[in-house]
Structure 1
Amino acid sequence: MAQYYSDELDTESFRLATISSGIHPNTKSQVPSVILTKHLLFGALDLAYNALSYTWGSPRDSSPPTDKVTNTTILLNGLLFEVQENLYDALVELQVSCSETPIWIDALCINQSNSNERSPQVSVMNQIYGKANRVIVWLGSTFPELETGLRAVERLGAASVPETLRMMRTQTWDFSSDLSTMPERYGMDPIDQEEAVGLVALYMSNWFTRIWIIQEVSLTSDVVILCNGRFTCFDYVGYTATFLHYSGLFQSVVDLVPKDRPGIHLRGGINIFHAERIQLLREWCKGKKSAWTGVLAMLDLEAGLGKHHANPAAMVPLRVLFSTFGMKATDRRDTIYGWNGILKHMAAQEGVSLPVVFEPDYDIEIKDLLRIIACNIIETTDSLVYLSLVKDPSVRETPGLPSWVPDYPPVLYNSVHGPNFRSLGTLNSSKHIPHSPNKYPFTITGKVLNAFGFRLGTVQRIGETFLECLQGRLSMLGDILLTMDKTYTYTNQQADEVLWRTMIWDTDFTNRPSKLIRLEDFQRAIAHNFVRALQYVFKEAGSASAGHALVLQSISDMAYLDEIAAKFPDSIFPSTRLVRSLCASLDTIPQDSDGCDEEELQKLMEPLSKHAMPPGNIMASTWINRRTILTDTGYLGMGHESTQAGDEVWIISGSPAPLILRRSGERNDCCLIGEAYVHGAMQGEAITDEVTWEKIKIV
């Protein structure tokens, strides 16, 4: 690309773009014309420039229908140059809205085909964004629902902050589910259907999942979203997302959206949790200038290690990597390098230097980069907590990577270590204290993690996935409960209580053990999953009579529910009588059907407690991408979805959470499947003088 870039940039200089309207030499149509000029980075504060934050690919997974002709050709320094469609649209809008101000745009201001320029420029992007007068966020071409969503966050954003700070300060959740109570509880008008559609449209923007945007919006104070000539303060977007999550109103907003609404497409994820985490990092980077400074201390972003570390240099990378998840990067190496600016900024705040392994080097292979990063974090923290970031084997994306090295696939995935409110306390199944004498040390030799541990048990039975639960398929989970003794030996609790506590990692998001979950609410949530699935069976039938017959047959196939009811009358599973009663109330079976239980039905219809956490909210956090497991030794736990019978559950010295391992190869080495929650073993209860620690190799 020598014809576009006459020189090669290092870390001392950067280019700025000036946008005007030009004429395509062939079609004679108007196209954006961009002129690049070189400047010293040292004097950037005097230049009064903007910086653009956008996504290189499509702005949405499913874009609203449009008659717009696709254009991708611009003039760059007077020559024809191809750009992505989303950038083309942004250039057109920028030329109209703020052409008088020079702007930094990564795809144009860096010679992307020259790694000798790209690496040093990426390493100073934190300075480029940090010194910009304003960062302009581009979510894609406007459409009515997006504009409605931006108006909604302008209404809700600032007004919601005191409520969010209250919840964080007291380390509690409001558990709201009724939008009509917003005036009484929060002094705000309720979110209506049009606003709900707009908010979902806004948070479905792919921009929220792009890893680079975190440093782009976190390092300068003035960040705005440009849409149809209007600028919306970005903080309002983050504030609203955080409020909707902590208040519990998020699901009610989603439920308000008609699934067939023209112009809105509920096919992809709604990235509200990404928006929340981005805002928390932004407030963190503001330091003492943020009104959130005090309450951020209520969040444990260090997986419980912070109290053991006087050296913040070890904590900065761990804190950042644990506080976000599911971000996307075109170049897989950017799953690490995309954090460079944030890491440098936070290291500077702590008065320490960032380890050199985090400096961009686009000549290194992704598998080598990820392994080097893992080695650095494990060695500097003197802990194996980093292994909890390893995702399920089915979603890992890096061939040739040791199983114990996280590779950050773009999947929403919660760890048992949080981030959580500090009121939950910390987990430490191996009783390891970093930087203290350790009788059973762990070391890394090449691609092998050498450690000591002992086996809690071998996986004997597995339960269903969360999706299967929503489909009313829970026979394997029922089989687990029926297999268990009535009393769980390791905690002396009733087995049916241990089951629901295990499914939510024994937390209500404020306490561990859980105190704010009502058994009745849990029973209601599970019963409705069965009934919702049967409603679908009824709707798929050709007629009402055929639907009734299919539903009745499905209920008769659930005999295991009555076995559970006989052995554990207070379990979370409904009896078939209760399922029949619920179906009769919904006309999916005849109302005069035999075997209904009206008394139980009335109990189930009682309103949810206003002072209890809805269990569905927690199960969506703890059960997604996981399944229940039962070992041959009677331990009940939750492991990654790929866990299968024959896998082994271990306590590994240095790992705060138990790990699920799978034997592999002739040498009997092990592969890591992932972390686990094991009820009655999360605080070191399994460690006794009788335990024999074994050497183990994880490859």
Structure 2
Amino acid sequence: MYKSIPLDPQKREIRLLSLTPGSRDETVSAELFRASLDNNPGFSVLSYSWGPENDKVPIQVQGRELLVTRNLYQCLLNLRSETTPLTIWIDAVCINQDSNDEKNTQVPLMRDIYKSASDTFIWLGETTSGLDLIIDSVRFISCQEEGFHFAFTEFINLAWFRRTWIIQEFALPRQDPVFVCGSHHISWADLRKWWRLIEEPNGNVTHHSSWENKSPAWQNLHRVLSSLPLANLASLRSGFSSNIVLERGLPLSVLIAASEASLATDPRDKIYGLMGLANAKAKQSITIDYNKSVQEVYEEVSKYLIFVECKLNVLSNQSLDLEPQWEQNDITPQNPQFKLRQGTNVTSSWIRDLAHLRSEFKPRPLLPDGRARGSTYDASLGTKPTRGPECETRELSILGTEVDVIRECKRAWCMVPGKIPYYPDWNAILPLFFRAAHPAGHNPPIMNETSEEGGNKRKSQEPEWDLPYPPKYGAPKTMREAIWRTVTCDKVSDGIDRAPDYYGRVFDGYMDAVVGNSGGYEVPDHIETTLEAEVSYLNTLTRRINKILFRRSAFSTMNGWIGLGPDDMKEGDVVAILSGGDVPFVLRQCQCKNHYWLIGECYVEGIMYGEMMQALIKERVMPGNMFRIQ
């Protein structure tokens, strides 16, 4: 069928589908024809989720049977008019999906296809009673009705919202798209207003101290809203309404961040589906080629982000879909092992598997994908990534500086099977950090490590808090300050602004609450505050600590640095600042001694803002290693 309608890439030709009018009971039939984008043909485009490949239904195209997914078939039934033909472009039908060569020429045209379309239809799926409620409540929302919360979750979890290709399909069209759900049609303007009304009460939920006591419907609604599917789409569409953005495109790292929760049938489309929105630098560096393996595509993208965009964020946010598993004979099941929920597409430790979605059991990265260089931390002092010779495939060779070797590490959190909450393990964290105040090989004096309730928890008044933090770089500080800055990663909840000084005094109250003492928290007389303000500060600090410690280990190094790193790090691992890196990384030497494995990003108190690099420059000592990472 496709051979009878060949396409000339030089003429920017595409195939269009003319959907024959008919009733719902009649066979779906259509005709394919060829058109050039240069001739401005009038046509609509369809944005939809393909659906399961093993569930297909026949339609008639050119008088021949063509199998399409049931989701597309249902869409065509609802879009088809009984009187008027519909000319529409549908990727699964208009592109020969069995020809990599054709996809290599047609996929780059998709940006222009969606820009040229007169109308965009977004197929969400057949309607249900719950979805009927959503459509009917676009203008009238009652957030107190339990049924609405479940219905909203059903709506926002529709497959279309999770598809990678919909990002450019939604962002580029000139006219606002129309959402189609069964027989319902709803404008983007109405849906956007509705979303803003829905989103606002969620902000109150995130700041509610006991939101976990809400109903399951409320909790589910909160998790769905936190993924911001419509907010990301609205932001992108708004951005591309600017002629400058439309002409220049966006950095690939920004697009990857916006599409983190998106799915793609072909894992390569996690990148190729974004290229229509990318800037010229990305398009020049990354060629759409479906003959490449998934790992080859992801390696190419990872190196582009590191050495062209000069951002090592891709190494911070390793996307693995993990779930906790406990040993059946575990007597105290508080430390699960994390197993892959699905197979991985890459074998190298540093190549991001972009097909894996963010798991609820992943730590929040210190450097999210879209974060600008130097806006959060600046451990490498603004240096550019320096690339070394790569002797082997799937190898990252990059200049860096070794900070130290891990002396001790322990998981900083606990989790109980069947429970959603996790909690900090201060029994592990505090003794480890206080031992770091003493040089390796030196036995610290015996201190009062036991509270009245038992365990190795410290009260905030005990003298070890006031020991000096031993590393020589950076401003002098006590262990008290080093610890509270470490367990917050020295940031407020947005992960951008530095932690305020009041965190220090509030942390004393937090630690006393942990051990059940209430006499150590005092507010200095010169500070004007209220009880309500102090309680709010305490709640803010608690949320920040809980968020940071999850899936991380507390560690100390041979020279007394303390920090937080991946919870699968080990003693003997190396902490290094890689050139171009805003944060340090934990590396593990391979048995061959010539290569390293990337374990993950880390926070090291006292070097996150370039203190160590500044000192080395001042001392005119710049030790550099070429790290070869596999």
TM-score bracket relative to the smaller structure: 0.7 to 0.9
User: For the residues of structure 1 that align with 2:120 and 2:345, how far apart are their CA atoms?
Assistant: 37
Residue in 2 aligned with 1:281?
236
Closer/same/farther in 2, CA of residues 441 and 128 from structure 1, 3 Å limit? closer
The answer (yes or no) to whether the contact 1:672–1:698 under 8 Å persists in 2 is yes
Matches within 5 A, 1:247-286: 248-249=203-204, 251=206, 258-259=215-216, 272-286=227-241
Residue in 1 aligned with 2:440?
none
Higher helix content, 1 or 2: 1
Query: Shift of the alpha carbon at 1:643?
Result: 3.0
Matched, 1:682 2:622: no
Closer/same/farther in 2, CA of residues 283 and 392 from structure 1, 3 Å limit? same
Matched, 1:126 2:111: yes
Matched, 1:456 2:386: no
Give the secondary structure class of the aligned counterpart of 1:427.
coil
Closer/same/farther in 2, CA of residues 630 and 338 from structure 1, 3 Å limit? farther
Residue in 2 aligned with 1:429?
379
Matches within 5 A, 1:115-194: 115-152=100-137, 154=139, 192-194=145-147
User: For the residues of structure 2 that align with 1:257 and 1:234, how far apart are their CA atoms?
Assistant: 31
User: For the residues of structure 2 that align with 1:616 and 1:34, how far apart are their CA atoms?
Assistant: 60
Give the secondary structure class of the aligned counterpart of 1:146.
helix
Residue in 1 aligned with 2:160?
207
Query: Shift of the alpha carbon at 1:392?
Result: 5.5
Residue in 2 aligned with 1:483?
432
Give the secondary structure class of the aligned counterpart of 1:666.
coil
The answer (yes or no) to whether the contact 2:380–2:610 under 8 Å persists in 1 is yes
Closer/same/farther in 2, CA of residues 513 and 288 from structure 1, 3 Å limit? same
Give the secondary structure class of the aligned counterpart of 1:502.
helix
Q: 2:37 aligns with which of 41, 63, 78?
A: 41
Matches within 5 A, 1:5-154: 6-11=4-9, 12-20=12-20, 30-44=26-40, 46-47=41-42, 49-57=43-51, 72-95=57-80, 100-152=85-137, 154=139
Query: Shift of the alpha carbon at 1:229?
Result: 2.7
Closer/same/farther in 2, CA of residues 385 and 492 from structure 1, 3 Å limit? same
User: For the residues of structure 1 that align with 2:559 and 2:422, how far apart are their CA atoms?
Assistant: 26
Q: 1:337 aligns with which of 259, 272, 276?
A: 272
Give the secondary structure class of the aligned counterpart of 2:66.
strand
Q: Deviations over 1:11-39 (max 9, x none)?
A: 31112223346699xxxx63422322221
Give the secondary structure class of the aligned counterpart of 2:308.
helix
The answer (yes or no) to whether the contact 2:311–2:581 under 8 Å persists in 1 is yes
Q: 2:366 aligns with which of 411, 416, 419?
A: 416
Q: Deviations over 1:411-467 (max 9, x none)?
A: 227542346898994321011333xxx9x7655455241323113331622324586
User: For the residues of structure 2 that align with 1:638 and 1:242, how far apart are their CA atoms?
Assistant: 37
Query: Shift of the alpha carbon at 1:83?
Result: 1.8
Query: Shift of the alpha carbon at 1:140?
Result: 1.6
Give the secondary structure class of the aligned counterpart of 1:321.
helix
User: For the residues of structure 1 that align with 2:111 and 2:274, how far apart are their CA atoms?
Assistant: 10
Tell me, which stretches of 5 or more residues in structure 1 are unaligned?
A: 60-69, 157-188, 294-311, 524-567, 579-596, 600-604
Residue in 1 aligned with 2:598?
672
Matched, 1:405 2:351: yes
Closer/same/farther in 2, CA of residues 354 and 652 from structure 1, 3 Å limit? closer
Residue in 1 aligned with 2:297?
369
Q: Deviations over 1:94-141 (max 9, x none)?
A: 125996432211111111112222221111111111111222112221
Give the secondary structure class of the aligned counterpart of 2:232.
helix
The answer (yes or no) to whether the contact 1:149–1:197 under 8 Å persists in 2 is no
The answer (yes or no) to whether the contact 1:10–1:121 under 8 Å persists in 2 is no
Residue in 1 aligned with 2:255?
320
The answer (yes or no) to whether the contact 2:164–2:259 under 8 Å persists in 1 is no
Q: 2:184 aligns with which of 230, 237, 258?
A: 230
The answer (yes or no) to whether the contact 1:424–1:511 under 8 Å persists in 2 is no
Residue in 2 aligned with 1:535?
none
User: For the residues of structure 2 that align with 1:117 and 1:572, how far apart are their CA atoms?
Assistant: 66
User: For the residues of structure 1 that align with 2:39 and 2:545, how far apart are their CA atoms?
Assistant: 52
Closer/same/farther in 2, CA of residues 242 and 630 from structure 1, 3 Å limit? farther
Closer/same/farther in 2, CA of residues 618 and 267 from structure 1, 3 Å limit? closer
Q: TM-score, normalised by structure 2?
A: 0.73
Matched, 1:220 2:173: yes
Tell me, which stretches of 5 or more residues in structure 2 are unaligned?
A: 323-339, 435-464, 522-530
The answer (yes or no) to whether the contact 1:203–1:271 under 8 Å persists in 2 is no
The answer (yes or no) to whether the contact 1:139–1:225 under 8 Å persists in 2 is yes
The answer (yes or no) to whether the contact 1:658–1:678 under 8 Å persists in 2 is yes
The answer (yes or no) to whether the contact 2:387–2:397 under 8 Å persists in 1 is no
User: For the residues of structure 2 that align with 1:476 and 1:617, how far apart are their CA atoms?
Assistant: 15
Q: Which residue identity is paired with 2:38?
A: F
Residue in 1 aligned with 2:446?
none
The answer (yes or no) to whether the contact 1:50–1:134 under 8 Å persists in 2 is yes
Q: Deviations over 1:308-352 (max 9, x none)?
A: xxxx89x82233334442322111111211111111xxx3xxxx5
Q: Which residue identity is paired with 2:301?
A: I
Q: Deviations over 1:242-261 (max 9, x none)?
A: 78379724658997985379
Give the secondary structure class of the aligned counterpart of 2:399.
strand
Residue in 2 aligned with 1:650?
576
Give the secondary structure class of the aligned counterpart of 2:403.
strand
Q: Which residue identity is paired with 1:339?
A: L
User: For the residues of structure 2 that align with 1:246 and 1:466, how far apart are their CA atoms?
Assistant: 31
User: For the residues of structure 1 that align with 2:608 and 2:314, how far apart are their CA atoms?
Assistant: 17
Matched, 1:575 2:531: no
User: For the residues of structure 1 that align with 2:312 and 2:178, how far apart are their CA atoms?
Assistant: 40
Query: Shift of the alpha carbon at 1:574?
Result: 2.4
The answer (yes or no) to whether the contact 2:21–2:81 under 8 Å persists in 1 is no
Closer/same/farther in 2, CA of residues 84 and 608 from structure 1, 3 Å limit? farther
Q: Deviations over 1:377-434 (max 9, x none)?
A: 4332455454334446966965554322223133227542346898994321011333
Q: Deviations over 1:278-323 (max 9, x none)?
A: 2222222111699xx9xxxxxxxxxxxxxxxxxx89x822333344
User: For the residues of structure 2 that align with 1:620 and 1:234, how far apart are their CA atoms?
Assistant: 38
Q: Deviations over 1:4-61 (max 9, x none)?
A: 652333431112223346699xxxx6342232222112123x41x22111112269xx
Residue in 2 aligned with 1:530?
none
User: For the residues of structure 1 that align with 2:591 and 2:160, how far apart are their CA atoms?
Assistant: 42
**Count of residue correspondences:** 547
User: For the residues of structure 2 that align with 1:213 and 1:107, how far apart are their CA atoms?
Assistant: 14
Q: Which residue identity is paired with 1:698?
A: I
Query: Shift of the alpha carbon at 1:230?
Result: 2.8
Closer/same/farther in 2, CA of residues 357 and 319 from structure 1, 3 Å limit? same
Query: Shift of the alpha carbon at 1:232?
Result: 2.2
Closer/same/farther in 2, CA of residues 572 and 194 from structure 1, 3 Å limit? farther
The answer (yes or no) to whether the contact 2:321–2:356 under 8 Å persists in 1 is no
Q: Which residue identity is paired with 1:220?
A: P
Give the secondary structure class of the aligned counterpart of 2:45.
strand
Give the secondary structure class of the aligned counterpart of 1:120.
helix
Query: Shift of the alpha carbon at 1:661?
Result: 0.8
Residue in 1 aligned with 2:525?
none
User: For the residues of structure 2 that align with 1:459 and 1:242, how far apart are their CA atoms?
Assistant: 50
Query: Shift of the alpha carbon at 1:72?
Result: 2.3
The answer (yes or no) to whether the contact 1:15–1:37 under 8 Å persists in 2 is yes
Give the secondary structure class of the aligned counterpart of 2:18.
strand
Q: TM-score, normalised by structure 1?
A: 0.66
Q: Which residue identity is paired with 1:57?
A: G
Closer/same/farther in 2, CA of residues 356 and 476 from structure 1, 3 Å limit? same
Closer/same/farther in 2, CA of residues 572 and 127 from structure 1, 3 Å limit? farther
Give the secondary structure class of the aligned counterpart of 2:104.
helix
